[in-house]
Amino acid sequence: MSMTRRVIQLAAGLWLFGASVALLVRADLGLPSWDVLHQGVSQVTDIPMGYVVILASVVVMLLWIPLRQRPGAGTLANLLFVGLALEATLPILPTPTEPIWRALFMIGGIVLNGVGTGLYIGAGLGPGPRDGLMTGIAARGRSIRAVRLSIELVVLALGFLLGGTVGIGTLLYALGIGPLAHVLIPLFSERTDDPDPLAAEKGDHT
């Protein structure tokens, strides 16, 4: 895969990822764990949610320092693109009131999130800030599944306490994003004999 294609794929994936979060916000049926936290902080501080995503990414990347994690170009792009895409998409999306449309927004958001995940991870230009935190802690001898679960439960609880939306969408995302990533990451990746070590662990983004 050429570098030009990888960069375009990365940018497209991150933008779709941010747009997918906007769909889930408008559905109002529950968000992924990190976005529950982002929304909760946004409601408490009156900072737009997309900018909270960016600020949270900066804070998470500061936690990389003691873990000796090194960001890639994709990491830095992730830091900016997802939040900006969310902010650009939210104003142009209607807020559905009919249950069928809310359900369609939710399902569409989860599927689009899976496509965005496949594209940006398949580009192979570096993990997102939150993925890097997870793998950095796991590299110290802890189970990556246990680390991921612990982090996501903590941010989910904090977000819920701050007023973030938890619901059926939260559960369906947690159940669906892993299988979607398992199918889509190889589809958008350059063929290799070594599978992406994160592919089986994907359950949240950035």
**Model confidence over 79-136: pLDDT tens digits?**
999 999 999 999 999 999 999 999 999 999 999 999 999 999 999 998 899 888 888 8
Can you tell me the distance from the alpha carbon of 127 to that of 1, in angstroms, rounded to the nearest whole number?
Answer: 18
Token reading at 29: 């049926």
Are 78 and 206 in contact, with CB atoms under 8 Å apart? yes
Are 128 and 77 in contact, with CB atoms under 8 Å apart? no
Identity of residue 76: L
Q: What is the pLDDT of residues 57-75, one digit of tens each?
A: 999 999 988 888 888 889 9
Predicted TM-score (pTM) of this structure: 0.88
Residue with tokens 């991150």: 14
The residue ranges of every structural domain in the chain are: 3-201
Identity of residue 43: Q
DSSP result, 63-103: THHHHT----HHHHHHHHHHHHHHHHHGGGS----SHHHHH
State the average pLDDT over residues 7-20.
97
